Structure 1
Amino acid sequence: MLSDAASAFVAGEPDTCRSILSDYVKATMGFEELARRLDMTSSSIKRMLGPKGNPKRLR
């Protein structure tokens, strides 16, 4: 799944990349756990990986 996200990113398909990453987070640890590990809010991560998100905005 992560290789698909990377391939989409390299192919210039950021929407697909974000969608795959969002699905991956949901299928694994969930947004709450990821937020805890990154010391962020889950809503911020959801926005970054949403349709209009900007995943580059990590600290």
Structure 2
Amino acid sequence: MALTREFKETIQARVRADRPFRDALLREGVEHMLSGDVESGKAVLRDYIKATVGFKQLGAATGASAKSLIRMFGPRGNPQARNLFAVISHLQCEAGLTLHVTAQPQ
């Protein structure tokens, strides 16, 4: 199901206004990636990027073109680890967060 423009705008407004929500969204995107749900992770991170730094600024900071990043986080995108980790590193810095991986028994 495609998200409506109104829903996306609502999420973006909340990200801008609600710091705990913004931080949780970044964490959720990375957690999806780590759990193997790459499609959901890309979608969450795409929304996060749009609502925070934007693809143009992110591209300038990571050395990738905005167009390349948009494709990378699109439904058919296949991010290389180097690019993905550069993006996550920059997003953490911008957010003032440091994400950590913790092993938990299944």
TM-score (norm 2): 0.51
Match of 1:9 in 2: 33
Is 2:21 the counterpart of 1:21?
A: no
Deviation at 1:7, TM superposition (A): 1.9
Is 2:73 the counterpart of 1:52?
A: no
The secondary structure found in structure 1 opposite 2:76 is coil
RMSD over aligned CA atoms reads 1.6
* Structure 1 residues not aligned, in runs of 5+: none
Percentage of identical aligned residues: 32
Larger of the two Rg values belongs to structure: 2
Match of 2:6 in 1: none
Number of corresponding residues: 59
* Residue 42 of structure 1, aligned match among 56, 62, 66: 66
Runs of 4+ in 1 over 4 A off after TM superposition: none
Which one has more relative contact order, counting CA pairs under 8 Å at least 6 apart? Answer: 1
The secondary structure found in structure 2 opposite 1:20 is helix
* Structure 2 residues not aligned, in runs of 5+: 1-24, 87-106
